[in-house]
């Protein structure tokens, strides 16, 4: 009986040591300038409109998040 209990105890000990340890999931702060802060942001955009030569209406998409143009000027209509 003592031998069976010792065997079971040794088995439980071996099995508990073989379980991998998991890292704790926490919200760690992101340092500015590391590039990681932009991965979690949703891109914000804004359309800009202009009238060219007094009768051509055009639009262009600006990325507020990244600070550059996403499209060229797109003609959307004419003013009569």
Q: How far is CA 34 from the centre of its chain?
A: 14
Can you give the pLDDT at residue 73? Answer: 94
Looking at the DSSP bridge assignments, the partners of residue 62 are 46, 69
d(CA 3, CA 8): 9
Query: Please, what's the largest Cα pairwise distance for the chain?
Result: 101
25-63 tens-digit pLDDT: 556 655 666 555 556 678 899 999 999 888 999 999 999
**pTM to 2 decimals?**
0.48
Sort 29 into a burial class: Cβ within 10 Å, 0-12 / 13-18 / 19+: exposed
């Amino acid at each position: 009986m003592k031998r069976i209990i010792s065997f079971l105890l040794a088995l439980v000990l071996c099995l508990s040591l073989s379980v991998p340890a998991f890292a704790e999931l926490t919200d760690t702060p992101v340092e500015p300038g590391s590039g990681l802060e932009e991965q979690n942001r949703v891109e914000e955009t804004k359309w800009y409109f202009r009238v060219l030569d007094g009768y051509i209406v055009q639009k262009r998409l600006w990325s507020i998040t990244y600070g550059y143009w996403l499209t060229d000027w797109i003609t959307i209509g004419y003013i009569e």
